Structure 1
Amino acid sequence: MLYGRDTEQNRIAELLDDARDNGRSGVLLLRGEAGIGKSALLEWAADACAHERVLRVTGYEAESNIAFGGLSQLLWPVRDRVEALPSAQAEALRAALGLGHAADGSGDRFGAGLGLLTLLADLAEDGPVLCLVDDAQWLDAASAEALLFAVRRLAAEGVVVLLAARDDGLIGSGLPEIELKRLENCDALRLLEERNLPADAVHRVLHDAAGNPLALLEFGAAAPSFPGMLPVADRVLASFRAQIAALPERTRELLLIAAAEGRGHLPSLVRAAASFGLDLDDLAEAERLRMVEVTGTGIAFRHPLIRAAAYQGAPTARRITVHRALADAADDPECRVRHRAAAAMGPDEDVAAELQLAAERARGKAAIGVVARLYRQAADLSPDDDARAARLAAAADAILTAGSPEHAEETAREAAELTSDPVLLARLARVRATVEVERGNGRTAATLLLDHAERSAPSDTHAMLRSAAAYAWTSGDTASVQAAASRLTDDPFVTGLAALTIEDYETGLPLLARAVREGGPDAVQAAVILGADEQTLDLASAAATRARRLGQIGSLPDILDALAQAQIALGLHADAEASATEALALARDTGLWHGGTRTAAVLTRLAAIEGDESYLTVPSRTPAGSAAALTDASRALLDLARGRHDDVVHRLEDLFHGPHRHSAGVMIASADLVESAVRLDRPDLAATAQARFTRWATAGGQPWARAIVLRNEALLTDSEPPFVQALNFHDQALRPFEKARTELAYGEWLRRHRRRADARNRLRSALESFERLRATPWLDRVRTELRATGEGTTAAVPAAAALLDRLTPQELQVVKLAAEGTSSREIAAQLFLSPRTVEYHLYKAYPKLGISSRRDLARLSFPTAPATLRTPASPKPPRPRIPVPQPAQGCA
């Protein structure tokens, strides 16, 4: 019987009922101090699901450095189902569970989480599944990361996950949670009634327990009194220590061995106990008092505080002796090294080397968080400064990959103070540079890499210089770009960037085009800078497909960011929103947030086109470097659409005197500056902007850019031929928004020259494009012009494309893949969802599309080019705010 937990029980019951009745998944984190009743609620939930599948895991502090120890405990009963998973996921889970190894020992760190998601969904095909995670704060980092990755993607599988954690566990996880409060006096009294305490003891127990259920039960047994200043958990711990002190010496000794062993692994405990002349009979008194429970396979303490009391109450020397015995008795290398490390009384190279080997075994399972911890331990036990520094460097690399930049920098700085080895210092500089990029300090990052590149390992020098150039480019550090190029004279990407920084477009842009053709590691970024939309779309789509197939989740945010930029340029706004939404979610999961800031900046272009003032005026995080330049260019575009020409000039004059003006995303704003300067009668400013953009467009050779040059020329000369030539170039490109702007400007020119019939033809075409693009402020301008020609503004639009606008970004992704004949299971693997969630999205999408099955999807046309873009048949819901994810603190 649980007292005072009606709210929590009702919340859990709702989740369970929703899973049974509707197939919905749910997750809830129960948070609270030791003894508050978290485990009791999990037991209550397990009893409520007695006829359904229940998977359980309890975190053990002793196993926090055993890679995927928690995940193994959770999935061991269903390990036979792993082989049915998609191959990359099955491989990741086999490695995690110790059933095999990643093919090359370098699997993606989120592969196990994706496999866990699919496995849970498969199990739920047979009925609801309940996962219970107790003491989640002590899960090993790899298990916690996999679990969080999976539960964030549960939706329509019929899986319920309940986690219990101490107050400081899983902070910032983003999971729905409920904090367990201490019991009210009325509920505490009801609980004490079951203890049959003397009346004079009740008041004392109520005071000392302070509403903590475990304290009420334990103090009710012995009715002690404690100083009021002690926290309740400390009072309970003291109570347990007093009870243990009263036990026979042999029982205390065996409890110490069990507490030090930590896992409850009976064979190891028995072997270690035998070395002291002890056996399980010596636990009889502790079993009678329900301190421990012994089964045929294991031993479990009734509460973690009992284990803590048994361990902390023993002298340090005795604990060391016990850990040495457990190391000798260990049945696997991870346990052996854990106990050897616990028994080490000072630096010990043998133990440090063994910890390093354990770290590399964890790396083979892609358990990066565990790798970091083990290398940190190895460093702490290293007697030699050089060895300590090398191990700290390995720890810093792993910590950074695990998504903790600040901690990685601290570790890297600690290592740097211990060594003068230039190769090692260069390795540490790469870590620190990545951290600086996360902070938005690309200049500092570039300087770090340039200073250390020549002293790095030969195999790393080229990559460091390329990274330095890329960081310097995005931060506007032209000197560092040129310094990198002076050392990489045969690299077209780096030398191309350097040429652009001095406005040598004739040299730089062809070099970047060569980098795109050669398809190197920077081909996508080069295509984005060039404004080569179709090449960016093809390259980024291929890279995303490859990353999805291989389960390389950590690389996707950057790829999806580039993909979103191309999709916006091509008018595929729904696809761009889907790509950006996924990129932001993955940035949150990978723990590196710079990509989220950049993606939010990319979305400002979409907001500007659609007239979403709020997205541009209330950024969720202040952008820096090239992200800030993209945001400023987008704000200027919206100012132009609203007729705020002075604001346009103010923003863009500053922008075009800055270092970020040389890429397509910013350079295109030259057209906005020209138009506003013309309207403000500032011909010199317009001519300067036009001259710069003409050189850039001519060197780059992109048809859309040549078209804009001609549109600018028409505005500057107030003549018709450039408009006609511009439209010819637009027909060779796929930027519908820019073509519609040219048609609007041409239509305005024709109306001013009293050619109303010709003007209407151009304006109708512009109206249709702007309606498809939801370009609200531009629609207002076209409608004003059409009314001036004497015509209404209703455009005929195809209905089929309008239906797609009713879909959420994820529904659109799922529907498009399903229409290509991709199975739900294959879609799930690509989008990192479960098959049941894919089916759920399809089920929700069919009514919106006016169809009833997959077969009907073949009748729909999907936007792949401007001719089939979205239409306004139904009002578009407000654009969801997509906040830049903030770094989670203290997760796992």
Structure 2
Amino acid sequence: MCSSPLVGRERERRRLRAATAPGTLTLLAGAAGTGKTRLVRELHDLPGPTVLTGHCPPGAEPFPFAPLIEALRRITVPGGLNPLCGALRTLLPEHADHLPPAPEPAADPAAEHHRLYRALTELLDALDPTVLVLEDVHWADPATRDLLAYLTPRLPAHLALVLTYRPEDLPRSFPVAALAARTPPGVRHHELTLTPLTRHDLRVLAGRTLTGTDVTADDARRLHTWTGGLPLAAVETLRALAEHPGPGTAIPERPPVPPSLRDWILDRLRALDGDARRLVRAACVLGEPATEPLLAHVAELTPARADKALSRACRHGLLTPAGPAALTAATPLLAHVCNTALPHGKRRRLHRVALAALSRLPEPPHPRLAHHAREAGLLDEWTDHAERAADIALRQGEDCAAVALLRDALTRPDLATRRRRDLALKLGRAAVSGISVEQTIDQLRDVLATPGLPATERGELRMGLGLLLLNQAARNRTARGELVRAAAELADRPDLAARAMCALAVPRSTPDSVDTHRRWMEQALAAAGRSHDTTVAHSVVVNHATLLAQIGDPAAWKVDLPAPGASFDPPTPDALARRREFARGSLNLADAAVMLGHYDRADRHLDDAATWSGADDAPYVHESVRALRLTLDWARGHWRGLAEETEHRLDSPRLAHFPSVTAELDILRAALALAQGEPALARTHLARVHPCRDRPDDPPRPDHTVPVRAFAAGLMARLALARGEPARAWEHVEDLVSLIAAKGIWVWAADLVPGMEALLACGREAIARDLCVRLRTGLRGTDAPAAATALIRLEAALAHRDDQHDRALLLYAEAEAGYRAMPRPYDAAQLREAAAHVHFARPRDEGVEVGLTSLHTALKEYTELGASWDAARVRRLLRAHGVITGCATVTRPHRDGRLSPREGEIAALAGQGRTNREIAVLLHLSPRTVETHVANALSKLGLRSRRDLAAPAPDGDPSPAPGP
């Protein structure tokens, strides 16, 4: 087996190397598994002195001088030895021919031992400069201990002595640290103690072991929690993961345990006496911090015996304090191995004892009781405690915890039908605001397939499934079908029917027209009135405001959302419900305000949503608020650090549960990449929004909202136009334009204008004029600055096409003013550039000068934003008119067409055929960062594929500067 990388030990390695100087004593302490052997192995790589290593074997009757004999067996015996060394013939028979003759036997055993000590010291003194390493001296036999006591005060001048030991296993009769005090003046000594590795150390170690894998900070956290930072446990775990990598994250919450690591842990347990072992098993079964009386009770020990055993277990590092009066197993790894190794009957008995003990507490911990009941085989008690724990979690707003408990309870195979329905109903309610995964959706569908379900219960289950598909899973069309059926099945429950109807009233990417959404809202308002349920009424009010905002109705901003109450209110279920509805409504209004172009209004609603939602009780709202703030920064031109922040958010494992939020961030990152001259990277991020389904069993693609899809489609249209493919640009937006026209919600069309303008380059002016008329009609009576300004922009492009230059300039100026009022400086700069083209087309000579002035203004604004792609385009146009411009410094100065040193390094490795993951491991980067650099290099070099990186650039220039 190859040696593991040595990380986190630079300081100790430097001190140990310094300790190899002749005449030096070094004591290296560390608990079992902290890497003492791995560290001293570094001494063998040093030039100069010979390194001799011997190990003290464990055992009740160890062989005398065992580590010395092992260390000296391969030496070359020097000549001219002191005749006293002949006493070593019996200890070193392999060197008998090179040793002096054996002396006469000593008069008594003590004299014989003294002669051996002197002989060994003489032999060591006769050797060339040597480092003698004796490992595990806590197991040293009595003769070796006595020898060390004799040798250290007389350490040969050219011998360095290194002793390793475990403090927890050191006998009281052998205080190793006292050896340093016996060295005479002038003899140097060092004392090193190895501690567990930090999270950073583990991340480095994992990155070097799991080649081709992106190891995140969360991976390092999971590994540190699992192993406690113990190097041996971490190395063995990582080797197992390298040999059998799993799906998903590099390091799961519960990694595999290789047999070698399992047996090592079991050996440590077997080394304990019976009482200490029982306490460790009790702590492992309990699974969470427990008081000493509880541990003693589960271990079935008297307080006096438990007190002594606790000291021994803590000294050996198997139990660790978890507060002022609690203890727990040292690591989850230890608990897992111990529980797995327990015989089935003994494990069940311990869980039953723990269940009985915890049940008697004044406030029984139902989640723990559910776990112990399940492990004890008491299935009914398991279900009861799981349901009680979920109810408590829901009342406290901890929906994610409730989802986990209910999903676990629903895995019981013999669960009664009635009970299964009840648990599934609660799961559906909890999952709407919690973190959703495919398993939750599958469980709800399984229960829905149960024959004989009453219509009302079926409707409530279906509504929970529909809301889950709609909000977290972003499957709008599938969700619509479930919600329509649920509304019909809930005819006798107006409170529940109102919730399904108001969800259907919010416009999505379904083919329903705006009138259909309004009718659903009217039915929801009527049903809420019949229900007399204030919670339902609040939910309907929120969705009513959302509907009005999504269609640009000014009445949206006059709807009073349900008051959240004071922040110091007690978190009663009603108060939590009000706060959640207020946060949800604020988020929905903020989302609509961003889409419509009301950015100040969006700020206010985002502040409200952030105030009344938390990362744990409302994770979807919390993450959506953070993503919307980044989108606002993009729109307002606050781009400094925005790409890095967006990448950081995309790396968060939490977002795996929220595809809609991830899609918004990917599109935002694509927009930044395109503006900053990285079209290849922009295409990469846009491809993530709508990935291809390679196999029929792949999960369905998310069906994102129309405004999100419109943002992406507008970017793809710009990319196509830059490549001179106007027909392709129109294709990117055509389906969405048809959907918007069918729904009659034209406020969603603001970001589709680049694709509509492409119609003019395709010679399809009639369609563009028709869209202009329909867009103007559709925006009548709405309050949507972004869409209204986009309409003016399209009208200006049509006027320019018709050679109506004065009208085109007036319209462009009006649209530019509209964008600056929002503000959207990037779009305003684009219109200033478009106006320059109109000036150039005018027959009068003064048009050229005005056009050049407009271009200079646009160039200045692009440069200030960091929009190097657009700035390069403007510079080309200025050069075409005889104006030479310097390469102005932009926010991202390296986007000048030449590869940065890091890009060149990565491009060279990619040209050798290495994958992104392989490059990431070699350079200690994340694969996402490597992907970004490869895309940048391809864009700058004007290449279409990473395979082209293997070919040399023309004239030896590694980085020709292509125009965007």
Structure 1-normalised TM-score?
A: 0.56
Asked if the contact 1:352–1:381 (Cα under 8 Å) also holds between the matched residues in 2, the reply is: no
Aligned to 2:131: none
What pairs up with 1:362-761 in 2 under 5 angstroms?
A: 362=393, 370-376=401-407, 380=412, 385-395=417-427, 398=430, 403-417=435-449, 420=453, 424-437=457-470, 438-453=472-487, 455=490, 458-470=494-506, 473-478=508-513, 481=517, 484-485=520-521, 487-488=523-524, 509-511=551-553, 513-518=554-559, 520=561, 521=585, 522-540=588-606, 543-544=609-610, 554-574=620-640, 577=643, 580-581=646-647, 583-585=649-651, 588-589=654-655, 591-618=657-684, 619-623=686-690, 624-625=703-704, 626=706, 627-659=708-740, 667-668=749-750, 671-673=753-755, 675-700=757-782, 702=785, 704-705=789-790, 707-726=792-811, 727-734=813-820, 735-752=824-841, 753=843, 754=845, 755-761=847-853
Map of 1:826 onto structure 2? none
Q: Distance in 1 between matches of 2:871 and 2:262?
A: 66
Residue 442 of structure 1 deviates from its aligned partner by: 0.9
Determine which structure has greater relative contact order: mean sequence separation of CA pairs < 8 Å that are 6+ residues apart, divided by chain length: 1
Q: Answer yes or no: is the 8 Å Cα contact 2:745–2:778 preserved in 1.
A: no
Deviation at 1:299, TM superposition (A): 8.9
Matched residue of 2:664: which SS?
helix
> 2 CA distance for matches of 1:673 and 1:686?
10
Partner SS for 1:632: helix
Counterpart Cα distance in 1 of 2:610 and 2:300 = 57
1:766 and 2:858 are equivalent in the alignment: yes
After TM superposition, give the deviation of residue 443 of structure 1 in Å: 0.7
Q: Which AA in structure 2 matches 1:643? A: G
Residue by residue over 1:413-445, the C-alpha shift from the partner in whole angstroms, topping out at 9 and shown as x without a partner, is 344355735554444334423543455421111
Q: Distance between the aligned counterparts of 2:487 and 2:600, measured in 1?
A: 35
* 1:744-767, Cα deviation, whole Å (9 max, x unpaired): 333222222233222222222222
| Residue 544 of structure 1: how far off its partner (Å) | 4.3
Shift of 1:571: 3.0
Counterpart contact for 1:711–1:722, Cα < 8 Å: yes
Alpha carbons of 1:787 and 1:307: their partners in 2 closer, same or farther (altered >3 Å)? closer
Quote the Cα distance in structure 2 between the aligned partners of 1:787 and 1:252.
Answer: 82
**CA RMSD of the aligned region, Å?**
5.9
Paired residues of 1:652 and 1:669 also in contact (CA < 8 A)? no
Contact 1:268/1:330 (<8 A) preserved: no
Most deviating of 699-708 and 630-639: 699-708
2:670–2:683 Cα contact (<8 Å) kept: no
Larger radius of gyration: 2
- Cα distance between partner residues in 2 of 1:713 and 1:294: 75
How far does residue 353 in structure 1 lie from its aligned partner after superposition?
3.5
Write the letter of the residue equivalent to 2:402: V
In the TM superposition, residue 162 of structure 1 has moved relative to its aligned partner by: 3.5
Does the Cα contact within 8 Å between 2:285 and 2:335 map onto a contact in 1? no
- Does the aligned pair in 2 maintain the 1:560–1:579 contact within 8 Å? no
Alpha-carbon separation, structure 1, partners of 2:521 and 2:814: 38
Instruction: Name the CA distance, whole Å, in 1 between partners of 2:630 and 2:597.
Output: 13
Distance 1:679 1:536 in 2: 36
Q: Percent identity?
A: 16
Distance, in Å, in 1 between the alignment partners of 2:436 and 2:391 is 20
- For residue 573 of structure 1, give the secondary structure of its aligned residue in structure 2: coil
* Deviation digits for residues 149-193 of structure 1 (CA, Å, limit 9, x no counterpart): 996899xxxxx98486866899744569999998xxxxxxxxxxx
The number of residues matched between the two structures is: 627
Deviates more, 1:392-401 or 1:630-639: 392-401
Partner of 2:7: 11
Tell me the distance in 2 between the aligned counterparts of 1:399 and 1:292: 38
Contact 1:565/1:602 (8 A) holds in 2? yes
Q: CA deviation at 1:325?
A: 5.5
Q: By how many angstroms is 1:375 displaced? A: 3.5
Q: Hey, what's the Cα distance between the residues in 2 that align with 1:876 and 1:540? A: 38
Once the 2 structures are TM-superposed, how far is the Cα of residue 360 of structure 1 from its aligned partner? 4.1
Q: Determine the C-alpha separation between the residues in 2 that align with 1:615 and 1:340.
A: 50
Distance 1:543 1:487 in 2: 27
1:312 maps to what in 2?
343
* Ranges in structure 2 where 5+ consecutive residues have no aligned partner: 15-29, 41-194, 203-214, 222-226, 527-539, 562-584, 691-702, 896-935, 941-964
CA contact 2:287–2:328 (8 Å) conserved in 1:
no
Contact 1:402/1:590, CA 8 A, preserved across alignment: no
Partners of 1:44 and 1:589 in 2: how far apart? 40
Q: CA deviation at 1:543?
A: 3.8
Normalised by the size of structure 2, how large is the TM-score?
0.52
Q: In 2 relative to 1, CA 391–747 (structure 1 residues): closer, same or farther, beyond 3 Å?
A: same
Aligned residue in 2 for 1:333: 364
Q: CA 1:281–1:492 in 2, change beyond 3 Å: closer, same or farther?
A: closer
Any residues of structure 2 matched to 1:177-256 within 5 Å, and which?
Answer: 212=260, 215=263
Distance 1:493 1:782 in 2: 46
- The 8 Å contact of residues 787 and 793 in structure 1, kept in 2 or not, is answered as yes
Letter in 2 for 1:651: H
